Amino acid sequence: MYKVFVNDCPIILTENNKISTKYKTVSFNPLEIKAIVTDLFENKILGICLICKDLKADWQLFKSVFKIERAAGGKVINLNNEVLFIYRLNKWDLPKGKLEKGESIQNCAIREVEEECGITGLTISKFLGKTYHIFEKKEKMILKITSWFLMDTNFKDELTPQKEEDIEQAIFKNTEEINTALENTYENIKLLFK
């Protein structure tokens, strides 16, 4: 199953034709993808479930409709078992950013977290998965595929949010603060806490 978000509304791709969902369920048709995304951008629908005959093949067809942008980020845990969050554009988020040419996805994740938060001493402990969302840029639909890594750090200095990226805060949060932050974040980020 894949969940792709458009304005925090999901497009669910699955082979399970008995899936329990509150969204309209239709057969996957690659010719309707752009219209579905447009309806989501225009808030005409709040989500949709596409039933696939061959999930792997249909996912490739789905991706072929868009320009792909790859990114990576981290869910960073400190010695107090707190998670690193950034506050940008009135939402709590996790640090992430675009993959540069010739860069490995792991190096991208570490570089972006370091740049966005002014942190050092990061160690990747495991791959968490990928998230997907669609946005528009210069009248083109972009599918952003973000690879996420669980990271550890013993960093104890003051964090420095990257202001030129509109990051207002970089802060470690405890369990209670995480739950509050997740009330004001993106659906993709919530998936990393399930």
Closest CA to 167 of 69, 75, 87: 87
| pLDDT reported for residue 98 | 97
Residue 17 has pLDDT above 90, yes or no: no
How many percent of the chain have pLDDT more than 70? Answer: 100
> For 95-120, what is each residue's pLDDT tens digit?
999 999 999 999 999 999 999 999 99
Which one is the CATH code of 67-191: 3.90.1300.10, 3.40.50.720, 3.30.70.1380, 3.90.79.10? 3.90.79.10
> For 51-89, what is each residue's pLDDT tens digit?
999 999 999 999 999 999 999 999 999 999 999 999 999
| pLDDT reported for residue 40 | 96
Residue 139 has pLDDT above 90, yes or no: no
Contacts of 13 (CB under 8 A, 6+ apart): 1, 2, 3, 4, 28, 50, 52, 55, 58, 59, 62
Average model confidence (pLDDT) across the chain: 96
Residue with tokens 């207002």: 168
| pLDDT reported for residue 138 | 87
* Tokens found for residue 127: 């791959």
| pLDDT reported for residue 144 | 98
* Tokens found for residue 28: 């996957």
Residue count (the chain): 194
Under a CB-based contact definition with an 8 Å cutoff, are residues 139 and 63 in contact? no
- As a whole number of angstroms, the distance between CA 25 and CA 163 comes to 42
Query: Across-strand partners of 146?
Result: 71, 131
Domain with CATH 3.90.79.10 in the chain: 67-191
Q: What Rg value do the Cα atoms of the chain yield, rounded? A: 18
